[in-house]
């Protein structure tokens, strides 16, 4: 029997990480988000900060960028090596027992290895912008630019390693608008669906 796993992909600022933690708490199962970063860093030898920054960012795309990218004899980049380790860690954690996994293409990695409830959390850009200012404070870049940049990087990363559209509803069993439902209602819905 495959373990039941909830995977949560999310737009930046939608509260997907918070929803994942609350669902795991409610179901009394582990939630892997920052913990994934720590485990990938331990397995790879990379610094946690490096894994956090590059673990959901696409490698350079385009022939010229790839020529300049640091690659080994077999054509693998450091980013590719990080993906392989990340995949191994995600599969290993899912094998250990039921859990919630946030981001890092877990829905794709576990599609044949676990009994997954795949979720995409999104919200109106204005609500997400308000949330990131509240959560992470003001920055030099506008909240809208931060949202756009982070989502663009996540989408490119997801597409590069899965060849699928990160925000396409057909890739998920459940799509939740946290701006409409709120964090608590989204948590309740996912816990009930589990």
* Residues 1-21 pLDDT 10s: 588 999 999 999 999 999 999
Q: What is the DSSP letter of 130?
A: H
Task: Using the predicted structure, report yes or no on whether residue 140 has a pLDDT greater than 50.
Answer: yes
Task: Using the predicted structure, report yes or no on whether residue 65 has a pLDDT greater than 60.
Answer: no
- Report the percent of the chain where pLDDT is more than 70: 89
Question: CATH top-level class for 4-193?
Answer: alpha beta
Answer whether 21's CB lies under 8 Å from 31's CB.
yes
User: pLDDT band for position 73 (50/70/90)?
Assistant: low
Q: Which of 10, 20, 53, 35 is nearest to 155 (CA)?
A: 10
């Amino acid at each position: 029997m495959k373990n039941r796993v909830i995977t949560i992909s999310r737009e930046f600022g939608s509260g997907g990480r918070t929803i994942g933690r609350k669902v795991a708490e409610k179901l009394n199962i582990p939630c892997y988000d920052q913990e994934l970063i720590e485990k990938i860093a331990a397995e790879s030898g990379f610094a946690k900060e490096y894994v956090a920054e590059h673990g959901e960012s696409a490698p350079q795309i385009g022939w010229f960028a790839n020529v300049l990218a640091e690659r080994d004899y077999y054509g693998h980049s450091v980013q590719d090596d990080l993906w392989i380790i990340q995949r191994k860690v995600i599969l290993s954690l899912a094998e250990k027992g039921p859990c919630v996994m946030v981001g890092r293409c877990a829905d794709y990695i576990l599609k044949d290895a676990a009994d997954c409830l795949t979720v995409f959390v999104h919200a109106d850009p204005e609500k997400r912008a308000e949330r990131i200012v509240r959560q992470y404070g003001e920055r030099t870049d506008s909240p809208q630019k931060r949202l756009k940049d982070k989502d663009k990087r996540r989408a490119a990363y997801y597409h590069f390693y899965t060849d699928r559209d990160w925000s396409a509803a057909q890739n998920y069993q459940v799509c939740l608008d946290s701006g409409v439902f709120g964090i608590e209602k989204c948590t309740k819905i996912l816990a009930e669906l589990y």
